[in-house]
Amino acid sequence: MGLILEYIPEQEPAIFMLVQTRPVAVGNNQHGTNNSPFSENSYYSFIQISAWIARIAKKNPKLVSRIHIGNTFENRPMYLLKVGKPSGLKKAIFMDCGIHAREWISPSFCQWFLKETYGKDKNMTDILDNMNFYVLPVFNIDGYIWSWTQNRLWRKNRSTISNSSCVGVDLNRNFNVAWGTIDASKKPCDETYCGSSAESEPETRAVATFIRKQLSSIKAYLTMHSYSQMILFPYGYSYEKTMNHEELNEIAKGAVEAIESLYGKKYRHGTSAATIYPSSGCSDDWTYNQGIKYSFTFELRDKGKHGFLLPESEIKPTCEEIMLAVKFIANYILNLTD
């Protein structure tokens, strides 16, 4: 780990921050400038991810467009990438990464996914002929930067709270679904502080507003977390089964089998409440109740040996196996008749 200077362009103009990271991470061109700029074996700072998002949209205008959906609490612009060939009304899958700051493997997967969409993968090309993806590479930008610069294990966003010296809301407790009821704290200093109200946070509002506008096309919602190796589906706020529980269970089972087929890693599957723990205000329950009947939460590697500090050597195999699960779900959605 070396100390390097990293320029933070938004919000704090002309401030250079000391950033502890790998000595190779910034200021060189080793990751390329074309369609595959990312090394498979590194985590990337938000500045690098942000520059890359802009670059791939500019270089691939026929396949990728960059959409501004709002700004974070610290006023950084939130961009998602729409991936797919423009042609009439198509089904879409919305995928976000990095809602929890410290889960670095999650943004790595969104980057991997985008990298894989550049035509070298035949199945992916077929999928993108018939479907769009909306990909939000880093949901919680302010928190992600904080996890790089100040506190590696930071989880929440960075909003300040009146009458409290504590900072941050758990964005995955801030959605308007059973808000503030289960495994969600009303105390600002807690890790699962759910905010002053549902959608109190600009990041949550930006995502929810975008999804509400696109409900007619979005058929599936995928949200990437770590760790514990699971594919989860609604509900989290109740032990009740959803209307299409058996179908969701079959899809999740197929997805975990696809994962295991590659490196033998076992992922569990089931409802959030029964498989990990009950929780409220979570994004996948909210999207499900908006009518997106194929909503899944992924918990990526590992099972706790390294936890949030997953070594960079595991980025590539994790992304490869998760890609198979995402493709499995995408193919399922494509084959739906309605």
DSSP-based helix, strand, coil % in the chain, nearest 5: 35, 20, 45
CA dist., res. 96 & res. 140, Å (int): 10
Q: How far is the CB of 226 from Zn ion (least distance, A)?
A: 7
Q: How far is the CB of 159 from Zn ion (least distance, A)?
A: 18
Nearer to Zn ion, 225 or 269 (CB): 225
**Interface with Zn ion: number of residues (CB under 5 A):** 2
Q: How far is the CB of 141 from Zn ion (least distance, A)?
A: 15
Stretch that binds Zn ion, among 71-79, 99-107, 174-182, 243-251 (CB under 5 A): 99-107
Nearer to Zn ion, 100 or 265 (CB): 100
Nearer to Zn ion, 6 or 284 (CB): 284
* C-beta neighbour count of 316 within 10 angstroms: 14
Residues pairing with 16 in the sheet: 7
Q: Which helix (H) or strand (E) holds 123?
A: helix 122-130
Stretch that binds Zn ion, among 42-50, 93-101, 144-152, 327-335 (CB under 5 A): 93-101
Q: Would you call 299 a catalytic residue per the annotation? A: yes
Longest dimension (CA), the chain: 55
Q: Which of 250, 299, 312, 321 is catalytic?
A: 299
Q: How far is the CB of 65 from Zn ion (least distance, A)?
A: 28
Pairing of strands 230-233, 268-271: parallel
Which one of residues 76, 100, 102, 219 is an interface residue with Zn ion (CB under 5 A)? 100
Burial 137-159 (b: 16+ CB within 10 A, else e): bbbbbbbbbbbbbeeeebbbbbb
Pairing of strands 16-21, 2-7: antiparallel
Q: How far is the CB of 135 from Zn ion (least distance, A)?
A: 17
Residues 95 and 146: beta-carbon distance below 8 Å: no
Task: Please report how the helices 141-149 and 46-59 are oriented relative to each other, as an axis angle in degrees rounded to 10.
Answer: 130
User: What secondary structure letter does DSSP report for 160?
Assistant: B
Give the x-and-dash track for 166-205 against Zn ion (CB under 5 A): ----------------------------------------
* C-beta neighbour count of 188 within 10 angstroms: 21
Q: Which amino acid is at 108?
A: S
By CB under 5 A, what part of segment 208-237 binds Zn ion? Answer: 225
Stretch that binds Zn ion, among 8-16, 33-41, 100-108, 182-190 (CB under 5 A): 100-108
Nearer to Zn ion, 256 or 282 (CB): 282
Nearer to Zn ion, 78 or 282 (CB): 282
Positions that interact with Zn ion (CB under 5 A): 100, 225
Catalytic residues: 299
